[in-house]
Amino acid sequence: MATPNTPLWEVFIRSRNGLAHKHVGSLHATDATLALQAARDIYTRRGEGLSIWVVPSSAITASDPSEKGMMFEPAESKIYRHPTFYEVPEEVGHM
């Protein structure tokens, strides 16, 4: 049982052929060293990773879900920001 004194950590793994670390989940650990070991034991058991980051969950500043209108809706009407209005010349082939 994780006590209230056991901090939460977010785990990021870079896979064998991945370029970036991806968030894979979270865990409880008393300090960074044990968090790294626990991440290894929980999230890389099937050869998933070559590199691990652990970050205290408390270090993450998250956007407020109640502000999602202000934060994200303005972008929804700006479809011209997607690069879908260009004709790609035949000669270019597959990009």
Partner 1 sequence: MTTASISVSETPLVLYVLRRADDALILGHRLSEWCGHAPMLEEDMALANMALDLLGQARELYSYAANVEGKANDEDKFAYLRDVRQYRNLLLLEQPNGDFARTIVRQFLYSAFADLYWRAMMNSADAMLAAIAAKSEKESAYHLRHSSEWMVRLGDGTEESHGRAQGAIDDLWSFTGEMFGIDASERDLIDTGIAVDPASLHPQWLKTVSGIVSEATLALPKSDWMQQGGRSGRHSEHLGHLLSELQSMQRMFPGVTW
Whole-number minimum distance, CB 6 to partner 1, in Å?
7
Query: Of the ranges 36-44, 58-66, 74-82, 85-93, which one interacts with partner 1 (CB under 8 A)?
Result: 36-44
Please report whether residue 41 would count as binding partner 1 according to CB under 8 A: yes
Q: Among 2, 8, 70, 71, which residue sits at the site for partner 1 (rule: CB under 8 A)? A: 2
> What would the two tokens of residue 67 be?
């502000």
Q: Among 13, 27, 52, 54, which residue sits at the site for partner 1 (rule: CB under 8 A)? A: 27
Strand pairing class (22-28; 8-15) = antiparallel
Question: Quick one: which of 44, 36, 41, 55 has its CA closest to 15?
Answer: 44
**DSSP for residue 14:** E
Q: For residues 38 and 12, give the distance between their C-alpha atoms in angstroms, rounded to a whole number.
A: 12
Between 37 and 88, name the residue whose CB sits nearer to partner 1.
37
Q: What order do you get walking across the sheet with 8-15 strand by strand?
A: 22-28, 8-15, 49-56
Interface residues with partner 1 (CB under 8 A)?
Answer: 1-2, 6, 27-30, 33-34, 37-38, 40-42, 45
